[in-house]
Amino acid sequence: MLANDIDAILVTGSGMHNPAMVYLTGGGHFNGDYIKKRGLPACLFVWPMERDEAAKSGLEVRSYTDYPFHRLLVQAGGDRAQASAMQYSRMLADMNISNGRLALYGISDLSQSFAVFSNLQQLLPGLSLAPLQDSDLIETARLTKDDGEVERIRKIGKVTTQVVGNTADFLTGHSVKNGVLVKRNDSPLTIGDVKSRINLWLAELGAENPEGTIFSIGRDAGVPHSAGNPNDLLRTGQSIVFDIYPCEQGGGYFYDFTRTWCLANASDEIQAVYEQVLSVYNTVLEELEAGKDFSIYQKRVCDLFAAMGHATPLTNPGTLEGYVHGLGHGIGLDIHERPMSGSKASAHETLIPGAVITIEPGLYYPEKGYGVRLEDSAWIRPDGKFEILAEYPLDLVLPMKAS
Amino acid sequence: MLANDIDAILVTGSGMHNPAMVYLTGGGHFNGDYIKKRGLPACLFVWPMERDEAAKSGLEVRSYTDYPFHRLLVQAGGDRAQASAMQYSRMLADMNISNGRLALYGISDLSQSFAVFSNLQQLLPGLSLAPLQDSDLIETARLTKDDGEVERIRKIGKVTTQVVGNTADFLTGHSVKNGVLVKRNDSPLTIGDVKSRINLWLAELGAENPEGTIFSIGRDAGVPHSAGNPNDLLRTGQSIVFDIYPCEQGGGYFYDFTRTWCLANASDEIQAVYEQVLSVYNTVLEELEAGKDFSIYQKRVCDLFAAMGHATPLTNPGTLEGYVHGLGHGIGLDIHERPMSGSKASAHETLIPGAVITIEPGLYYPEKGYGVRLEDSAWIRPDGKFEILAEYPLDLVLPMKAS
């Protein structure tokens, strides 16, 4: 906190799906405010009915009922945001926080939180809720993972590859009629059917996918974040982009993984583009060096793809064909966190040992009806080696079992 | 917008698990900004790789690449929040929004959004991002559900009661040894086992539980939001509070439901307290009148429980025993929305026709090792009747099948 010139921290919101809160409290079934003054122990404010869940954090737990909202609401003339701001000002006062710099965190509803904290800033002019500059305290702490965190990511990685393996088995076990996968009753298999299975396998293995799963075929596979149309059929020979990013149940650590598959066979064109993506993937994985800027490798990948004749963000900013996104990003309690490589990266986001990052080159040709992406998540080990946390074959073509 | 003196709306964040964004766009696999000036069509700003997902909203889709972040970051001297604010100011300018009142919405990370919008306020002094007063535009729109929304809530309600039925079947199918439910291999059944099944059944039926599930026994059942210890055993005769609040896959409409069960038998004391909760539940459901303030019934329930000798928030503010929470709350795209009945309610939150609310009286005695809560979700129909959207028996004791 010293290094960042921060005098106090306030994290608001749920103990689930709220990275800063989960990071600092361990998470749980509560909605609260974590408040810490520099050099003093933190407190967690919650409603009494969540006191036991909050107490699992090991922190001192205090109750909102000591700051009766109803009375504050009357004093504030019925203005809820003002009443909440008054409640915060009292909670902060009781923690001896009245001046200096207060850093705000937490996933929250902007319609309430912006109003509340703007009002709080007015109530406490001596306290600066001023925007943080680039180097953020908790973000920096979260950047490097300790052994326990790496093991949790590795575990959710194994869940991921197990579900991916189940999906491959499930798909290749179907019969094919006129180029379409069909069920036993001869009705066509849909992407919706496949996604239902994926959700089921994730639930069985104790994971969830709060942000969905990308399983898209044909033209949709050519648009990186198209999630896939549930009514689309599974056709042989078309490229399927399967990007799966589950997290631990309740909103813990994420994994991020992509394979591109063609069922039964691939056209020469898709095969050739796949081999280009694979070669770039292998080249960059070999070249990555801990301590270097992530953006160096984004540039390197752009250069490699450009040399193969593809458009890239460097040669054609805003291109919708060719290589159209960043090389990767950190993962952890968020699916996208520091370090970043692409267009939202800061000047120097280094591949610091302890970080876990994705490497995900891809090529996209929506108008030609295909896209290819390969992605693994790698831990930058203390010895500087990049270790993929859940290995899985990179094959493009999945032969059908029945044929 | 006129009634609220709002000149423009900005909703930021994901198309999933983000109520205001889902409400206005239909949701989808994108991260973006929905911006609308009064009287003009809305635009949805996204990255190009999410353009197809965004286009499903039927809105005009624009690209962030028209506002190159990298260049703005350089201009802002590397200050990301300032660069984002500059990006917003340009997007707003392109939509002819430069003065008047801009209402902010969206689930977002406060560490970024408070900084960005504070900076934006400085950049555009003619535009007021001032806190909204109590009557909030989108909140008010979301308060009443149309037929399509009610059907979606009814459907997730049916999923809920089906999972609850599965859970009852699953539990009562076990053998009992020394008062503990055991599996076929004689090892004890745990709450963790039960929750895994619940997650599986929810996934099978196309639902998810992003905020978890409360399945707590004994003392934990006496603390309303204790989620239950995964290692706890299922003991006959103890009260189990099973509070389940799933939503449609991807973050759509929620349902909210609670039953209290005793396996095999209940002590006279738990049975008596259960009957008190049941009688209050029945009384209040009979007395509810559309158009009245929800808080009237909170007071009524406090009076009823107080007359039975229990502490309540009215007689003992902050009590941890007796009746310790509010009677209910609205549900919809959020699990807790307007109208509210309890300590966070505004002066007049009425039971407006079209709203869907929970009714959930309970009594809690953690030191005596039990708690009882009964909860259903009811639609306030246009004719003023309160219709429970998913019926399920209210029984306390679940007889074991094997005995």
**Residue in chain A lying closest to B224 (CA):** A49
Euclidean distance between CA atoms A283 and B351, whole angstroms: 63
Contacts A207 to B, Cβ<8 Å: none
- Site from B16, B109, B139 to mutate, A interface, most A CB atoms within 10 angstroms: B109
Contacts A82 to B, Cβ<8 Å: 131
Q: What are the counts of helices (DSSP H) followed by strands (DSSP E) for chain B?
A: 10, 22
| Percentage, residues of chain B above pLDDT 70 | 97
pLDDT at B137: 79
The pLDDT tens digits of the residues spanning A275-314 come to: 999 999 999 999 999 999 999 999 999 999 999 999 999 9
Q: Region B83-101: what's the mean pLDDT?
A: 95
Euclidean distance between CA atoms A73 and A79, whole angstroms: 6
Q: Region B313-331: what's the mean pLDDT?
A: 94
pLDDT band at A2 (very low <50, low <70, confident <90, very high): low
> Residue B227 and residue A68: Cβ atoms within 8 Å?
no
Residue A329 burial (CB < 10 Å; 0-12/13-18/19+)? buried
**Nearest beta carbon to residue B115 from set A51, A70, A132:** A132
**Residue in chain B lying closest to A70 (CA):** B343
Q: Among candidates B113, B141, B124, B101, which has minimal Cα distance to B13?
A: B113
pLDDT higher than threshold 80 for residue A402: no
Contacts A103 to B, Cβ<8 Å: 111
Q: Smallest CA–CA separation between A288 and chain B, in Å?
A: 23
> Residue A53 and residue B249: Cβ atoms within 8 Å?
no
pLDDT band at B281 (very low <50, low <70, confident <90, very high): very high
pLDDT band at B55 (very low <50, low <70, confident <90, very high): very high
pLDDT higher than threshold 80 for residue B122: yes
Q: Smallest CA–CA separation between B331 and chain A, in Å?
A: 16
The pLDDT tens digits of the residues spanning B142-190 come to: 999 999 999 999 999 999 999 999 999 999 999 999 999 999 999 999 9
Q: Region B304-323: what's the mean pLDDT?
A: 95
| Percentage, residues of chain A above pLDDT 70 | 97
Euclidean distance between CA atoms B238 and B234, whole angstroms: 8
Average pLDDT of chain B is: 94
The pLDDT tens digits of the residues spanning A117-132 come to: 999 999 999 999 866 6
Per-residue tokens: A296: 């160096």
Degrees to nearest 5, angle at CA B279 with B278 and B284: 100
Least confident interval from A145-154, A263-272, B68-77: B68-77
Q: Region A212-223: what's the mean pLDDT?
A: 96
**Nearest beta carbon to residue B346 from set A78, A133, A343:** A78
Q: Region A345-354: what's the mean pLDDT?
A: 88
Per-residue tokens: B45: 């700003």
Angle at which helices A268-287 and A294-307 cross, to 10° = 150
> Residue B134 and residue A80: Cβ atoms within 8 Å?
yes
Contacts B108 to A, Cβ<8 Å: 107-108, 110
> Residue A113 and residue B116: Cβ atoms within 8 Å?
no
The pLDDT tens digits of the residues spanning A22-52 come to: 999 999 999 999 999 999 999 999 999 999 9
Scanning A329-358 for CB atoms below 8 A from B yields 343-344, 346-347
Euclidean distance between CA atoms A156 and A149, whole angstroms: 11
Residue B174 sits at φ, ψ, to 5 deg, of -85, 160
pLDDT at A263: 98
| R_g of chain A computed on alpha carbons | 24
Contacts B114 to A, Cβ<8 Å: 104, 113-114, 117, 129, 131
> Residue A118 and residue B111: Cβ atoms within 8 Å?
no
**Residue in chain A lying closest to B21 (CA):** A109
> Residue B129 and residue A139: Cβ atoms within 8 Å?
no
Scanning A223-252 for CB atoms below 8 A from B yields 223-227, 249-251
Euclidean distance between CA atoms B292 and B294, whole angstroms: 6
Torsion of CA A298, A213, B249, B11, to 10 degrees: 20
**Residue in chain A lying closest to B102 (CA):** A111
Scanning A136-155 for CB atoms below 8 A from B yields 136, 138-139
pLDDT at B292: 96
Q: How many CB pairs under 8 A join A and B?
A: 224
- Site from B52, B241, B325 to mutate, A interface, most A CB atoms within 10 angstroms: B52
pLDDT band at B133 (very low <50, low <70, confident <90, very high): low
Contact A384, A285 (CB under 8 A): no
Q: Smallest CA–CA separation between A383 and chain B, in Å?
A: 31
pLDDT at B318: 84
- Site from A70, A75, A109 to mutate, B interface, most B CB atoms within 10 angstroms: A109
- Site from A50, A105, A114 to mutate, B interface, most B CB atoms within 10 angstroms: A114
Average pLDDT of chain A is: 94
pLDDT at A137: 79
> Residue B220 and residue A52: Cβ atoms within 8 Å?
yes
Q: Provide the 10 A C-beta neighbour count for residue B193.
A: 17
Contacts B120 to A, Cβ<8 Å: none
| Residue A47, helix vs strand vs coil | coil
Count CA atoms closer than 13 A to B125's CA, side-chain side: 0
- Residue B30 touches chain A, beta carbons under 8 Å: yes
pLDDT at B4: 66
Contacts A329 to B, Cβ<8 Å: none
pLDDT band at B135 (very low <50, low <70, confident <90, very high): low
Contact A312, A306 (CB under 8 A): yes
Q: Delineate the domains of chain A, giving CATH numbers in brackets.
A: 8-140 (3.40.350.10), 144-398 (3.90.230.10)
> Residue B320 and residue A211: Cβ atoms within 8 Å?
no
Contact A21, A50 (CB under 8 A): no
